[in-house]
Amino acid sequence: MSAVLANKRGSAVSEDNDSAGSRDFPLDRPRKATIQDVADLAGVSTGTVSNTINRPHVVRRATREAVERAIRELGFVPNQQASVLAGAASHVIGLVVLDIASPFYMQAARAVERAANEAGHMVVLCNSENNPTREAELLRMLNTHHVRGVILAPASEVNHLDPGWIASQESPIVFLDDENTTEDCSVCVDHVAGASLAARHLIATGRDRLAFVGDPDGPHQFAQRFQGVRNALVEADLPSTSLRAVRVPGIGLQDGLLAADQLLERELPSGILCGNDMMAFGVYRGLTRAGVRIPDDAALIGYDDVDFAADWVVPLTSVRQPTYELGYQAAQLLLRHSGGDPDHQHQQLVLQPELIVRSSTDPGAR
């Protein structure tokens, strides 16, 4: 007795039972359920099954429940891309960030995923590596796959994306930690206020020679934070020469080590504010290796208040961003923005940071 199989090129071949061990796949592998199978089991048309999956609000409740039971019983998996091409809304959200190794972006991504999951959606996480060319290619690819929309943390070399270009995108865009323009949906943090809080704290504790670690001409967040420090100096009637910018190319721990080398080349400032916590960790390592005591010789402040800032060698004072809320609200905005409501109004949400004081600026703090 022989069986008929399809070879790898799709042609039929005959095979005896004795040679069954050479088969490329088992004959008894279960066939995937089709939309016709679901329709037959539920006693409805394939069009009704399609509507139940893609436009459930147009299907009567009893019919919809019958179709849903059939789908569960058969283990039917709808073809999402085919549904989207047929006009249904995608259940996939794109998230493009500058650096997937950043604890800040990972915490924001967890919040985006939580909000998306609650709405029955999934998230595709993409890393632009802070490169505008790569960012544009990722957006093109996400559009090609007909995602429902994109949450974008723009590359720092792009100050504002052209509104005409944004409007031309197939997928709606919501900006994460970036305001862009009032014509777009966005969720950001008041970084000027956050850095001002940090600088006021340093000045109030007697530190009046300050350094800002990060490139004020780079990420717009750093420009805003640098401005916040300058504002605090003006409020305290301190001269502009009281502030030194220590410019480094990136935003990671290694960049903090580079900044520490620069700080040690000149008179050490009494207070150091870093553009983020990762750079603050690098500054700490570089300074302490050179014998600098934190906070006795120099007070150190980070920004973001990532999960392990409190558990650093000397617990790090940091400006806490509402990072989880930032990601969650961005996802909520995107779901509303991409919902097809003709009366949708773009929103620009601005969240407020807070200063968390620890031992790196106050020996008595924990």
Using 50, 70 and 90 to split pLDDT, how confident is the model at 211? Answer: very high
Mean pLDDT of 194-201: 98
Residue 79 pLDDT: 58
What percentage of the chain has pLDDT greater than the value 90?
A: 55
Mean pLDDT of 295-318: 95
Of 194-198, 204-208, 220-224, 286-290, the poorest mean pLDDT is in 220-224
| Of 176 and 80, the one with more pLDDT | 176
The CA distance from 267 to 205, in Å, is 19
For the CA atoms of 61, 64, 69, 71, what is the dihedral angle to 10 degrees? -160
The SS3 of residue 37 is: helix
Structure tokens, 154: 């723009």
Of 79-93, 174-188, 281-295, the poorest mean pLDDT is in 79-93
Mean pLDDT of 74-103: 72
Q: Kindly report the average pLDDT of the chain as a whole number.
A: 85
Using 50, 70 and 90 to split pLDDT, how confident is the model at 345? Answer: confident
Using 50, 70 and 90 to split pLDDT, how confident is the model at 88? Answer: very low
Cβ atoms of residues 324 and 104 within 8 Å: no
Rounded (5°) CA angle 353-354-359: 135
Cβ atoms of residues 93 and 150 within 8 Å: yes
Give yes or no for a cis peptide into 295 (omega within 30° of 0). Answer: yes
Residue 87: pLDDT over 50: no
Please provide the distance, in angstroms rounded to a whole number, between the alpha carbons at the two ends of the chain. Answer: 79
Residue 1: pLDDT over 80: no
Residue 28 pLDDT: 54
Using 50, 70 and 90 to split pLDDT, how confident is the model at 217? Answer: confident
Residue 4 pLDDT: 37
Using 50, 70 and 90 to split pLDDT, how confident is the model at 332? Answer: very high
Residue 170 pLDDT: 64
Domains of the chain: 25-85 (1.10.260.40), 92-188 (3.40.50.2300), 191-322 (3.40.50.2300)
Cβ atoms of residues 307 and 92 within 8 Å: no
Neighbours of 162 (CB within 10 A): 11
Mean pLDDT of 147-154: 91
- DSSP letters spanning 56-124: GGGS-HHHHHHHHHHHHHHT----HHHHHHTTPPP-EEEEEES-TT-HHHHHHHHHHHHHHHHTT-EEE
Residue 152: pLDDT over 90: yes
Of 79-88, 129-138, 233-242, the poorest mean pLDDT is in 79-88
Structure tokens, 259: 């900044």
| Distant-in-sequence, close-in-space partners of 136: CB < 8 Å, separation ≥ 6 | none
Residue 89: pLDDT over 90: no
| Of 26 and 303, the one with more pLDDT | 303
Using 50, 70 and 90 to split pLDDT, how confident is the model at 96? Answer: very high
How would you class 205 by CB atoms within 10 Å of its CB: exposed for 0-12, middle for 13-18, buried for 19 or more? middle
Residue 292 pLDDT: 97
Residue 307 pLDDT: 87
Rounded (5°) CA angle 258-191-160: 90
Which is nearest to 95 in space by CA: 103, 85, 104, 105?
Answer: 105
Angular region, 178: left φ>0, alpha ψ -120 to 50, beta rest = beta
Residue 366 pLDDT: 66
The CA distance from 365 to 317, in Å, is 9
Residue 201: pLDDT over 80: yes
Mean pLDDT of 20-28: 47
Cβ atoms of residues 229 and 198 within 8 Å: yes
